[in-house]
Every structure is written in C-alpha cells, then in structure tokens.
C-alpha cells in the first residue's frame, strides 16, 4: 500500500504536474487568500512526498484543490476516515445537551445488504448475527429516503432531566415538524411526548406544557432536575419532538447524578 506521500506523488504525476508547477499554483492560492500558509515551496513538497512530512491543514487544502481531489479523500490517505466518525462519538461525553452535526460530512455509510433468511422483524434479535453482508453505500444514493424535518441531538453527560427514561449520553432523533406542544391525558410516561427544547442556557429534552405565553419544562419525577417555567418562545423554543433514541445501557457513569442531586439548578 502506498504511503500518503507516495499517493500524492502518484496523483501529481498522473496529472502531468511538476514540483515547480505545484509550487506556482500554491503561490496563487496563497495570494488569493492573502495567507502565505497556503503556499507550498518546492523543497517542502518534495519532503511531503518522500520523507513523510505532514502537510498543514492549509497545505492539505491546497493539494486537494490542485490535484482535483476531495479533501476527505486526501485525509483518508493519512488515516483519517471521516466516514467512520460515528465510531468515535462515544469516546467523548460533553456535559451539555446539544445538536450533533458530526456526521454531516460523511459521504458513505455501511448498511446491511444481505440478511440471514431466518431474520424476523417481529422478534428481538442480535442484528450482528443475522447480517450476512455489510456494504458501503454512498449517501447520495440515500437521498430519496431523507427527511429534512429530522435533526439529531445528544443528551449531555450531566443532563439528567429525563433520567432514568433517557440516560445521559443518549442520541436523539428529533422531528422538527412536531414543534407544537400537545396536551392530553397520557396513560404512561412512554406515551407522553418528549420535546427537544432550546433555552438561553442551552438545550434540553423534557416534557412540556403550555399556558398562555408560558411554557413549563417538566423533568422526569425521578430526576434531580427542577421544574422550570419560562416565556415561550422568547426564553424557551421547542425545536421538535423526540421520535427516536439510541443509548447504551450499563456503561454510563452515575457520579454525575450525585453531583446533579446536590446542585440541580445547574442543569439545562
């Protein structure tokens, strides 16, 4: 397998460009941006190709432009796979709830392309055992299934507003078309709509009720978070209703709950 430097050299030669050609083109890009960091001296380009010198983010952009390559592909030559960002999300646990756009730059996803004949969607199964084959599918081909009403969110590692129904670290699918608070008599907590709300302090997910121009943000009864009443929509705007949840069980840390119980007013 070619190294990143060798791959860059191969592409340059395929385009019929000399080291000097790239240097001149990079100087033009640097001049356009009024930033010398975009420039790549001939000697530095040679070191990038033959000695494994890492290009700066500015020079990586320059090389991608000159070589007519997507910057994400050039990053992959250096071992940075943008399409695998999802696998790294669980390694970081921001304390505050927020929208997540990490996957917006992904260009392809791995999806099941062949299932075991015994697969029965009515039963609870280990999907890892019934997927016979995974395949990489360009996201462009999935546009037909896209729903622009959806946004995605992450429950902060210190946001216990809907604990234990929604654990900290959960990923949420939010339907922005359902941004009107629905009142009703709910038979269980699972029927009552959970809303993703933006306040002046940040984001949170909770039950909601409206009375005039005031909205009540209701946490789960077992949560240490307090009930908050705010002006709507000035101080609290309903982004949408939570319609999907992905969360890990047994792996989150409860020490944050102890801190939250002592100082519930800090929760969003």
CATH of the domain at 45: 1.10.260.40
Domain count, the chain: 3
Q: Choose the most confident range, by mean pLDDT, from 25-34, 154-163, 198-207.
A: 25-34
The predicted structure's pLDDT at residue 265: 39
Q: Are residues 238 and 162 part of one domain? A: yes
Q: Are residues 258 and 173 part of one domain? A: yes
The predicted structure's pLDDT at residue 120: 67
Distance of CA 74 to the CA centre of its chain: 21
With beta carbons less than 8 A apart as the criterion, state whether 130 and 120 touch.
Answer: no
| Digit-coded pLDDT (tens) for 221-230 | 999 999 999 9
Given a cut of 70, whether residue 48 has pLDDT beyond it is: yes
- Asked if residue 183 belongs to a domain, the reply is yes
- Asked if residue 173 belongs to a domain, the reply is yes
- Asked if residue 251 belongs to a domain, the reply is yes
Q: Which position has the higher pLDDT, 167 or 1?
A: 167
Rounded distance, CA 42 to CA 19, Å? 6
Q: Are residues 158 and 136 part of one domain? A: no
Q: Are residues 239 and 156 part of one domain? A: yes
- Asked if residue 243 belongs to a domain, the reply is yes
- Asked if residue 113 belongs to a domain, the reply is yes
Mean pLDDT for 135-154 is 65
Given a cut of 90, whether residue 216 has pLDDT beyond it is: yes
- Asked if residue 97 belongs to a domain, the reply is no
Q: Are residues 206 and 111 part of one domain? A: no
Given a cut of 90, whether residue 250 has pLDDT beyond it is: no
Range of the domain at 201: 150-266
Find all residues with CB under 8 Å of 184, minimum gap 6, and list them.
192
The predicted structure's pLDDT at residue 251: 63
DSSP 217-233: EE--TTSSPPPEEEETT
Q: Are residues 163 and 259 part of one domain? A: yes
Q: Are residues 133 and 42 part of one domain? A: no
| Digit-coded pLDDT (tens) for 231-245 | 999 999 999 999 999
| Digit-coded pLDDT (tens) for 54-108 | 999 999 999 999 999 999 899 999 999 887 777 777 778 788 888 777 666 666 6
User: What is the widest separation between alpha-carbon atoms in the chain?
Assistant: 74
Q: Are residues 202 and 165 part of one domain? A: yes
Q: Which position has the higher pLDDT, 107 or 168?
A: 168
pTM, two decimals, is 0.60
Question: What percent of the chain shows pLDDT beyond 90?
Answer: 55
Q: Choose the most confident range, by mean pLDDT, from 94-98, 190-194, 201-205, 246-250.
A: 190-194
Given a cut of 50, whether residue 220 has pLDDT beyond it is: yes
The predicted structure's pLDDT at residue 259: 55
- Asked if residue 65 belongs to a domain, the reply is yes
Q: Are residues 112 and 57 part of one domain? A: no
Q: What is the CATH number of the domain that holds 218?
A: 2.10.109.10
Q: Are residues 259 and 206 part of one domain? A: yes
Q: What is the DSSP letter of 201?
A: T
Rounded distance, CA 233 to CA 235, Å? 6
- Asked if residue 208 belongs to a domain, the reply is yes
Q: Are residues 162 and 251 part of one domain? A: yes
Q: Are residues 73 and 36 part of one domain? A: yes
Given a cut of 50, whether residue 266 has pLDDT beyond it is: no
């Amino acid at each position: 397998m070619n190294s990143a430097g060798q791959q860059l050299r191969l592409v340059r030669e395929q385009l019929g460009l000399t080291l000097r050609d790239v240097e001149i083109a990079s100087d033009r890009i640097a001049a356009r941006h009024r930033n010398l960091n975009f420039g790549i001296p001939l000697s530095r380009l040679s070191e990038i190709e033959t000695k494994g010198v890492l290009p700066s983010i500015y020079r990586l952009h320059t090389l991608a432009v000159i070589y007519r390559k997507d910057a994400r592909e050039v990053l992959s030559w250096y071992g940075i796979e943008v399409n695998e960002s999802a696998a790294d999300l669980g390694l970081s646990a921001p304390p505050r709830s927020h929208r997540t756009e990490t996957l917006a730059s992904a260009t392809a996803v791995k999806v099941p392309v062949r299932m075991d004949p015994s697969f029965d969607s009515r039963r609870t199964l280990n999907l890892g055992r019934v997927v016979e084959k995974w395949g990489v599918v360009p996201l462009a081909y999935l546009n037909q299934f896209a729903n622009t009403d959806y946004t995605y969110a992450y429950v902060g590692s210190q946001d216990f507003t809907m604990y234990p129904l929604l654990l900290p670290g959960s990923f949420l699918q939010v339907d922005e078309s359902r941004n009107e608070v629905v009142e009703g008599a709910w038979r269980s907590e699972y029927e009552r709509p959970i809303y993703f709300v933006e306040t002046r302090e940040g984001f949170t997910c909770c039950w909601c009720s409206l009375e005039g121009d005031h909205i009540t943000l209701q946490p789960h009864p077992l949560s240490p978070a307090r009930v908050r009443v705010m002006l709507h929509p000035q101080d609290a705007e309903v982004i949408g209703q939570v319609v999907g949840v992905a969360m890990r069980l047994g792996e989150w840390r409860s020490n944050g709950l102890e801190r939250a119980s002592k100082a519930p007013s800090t929760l969003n």
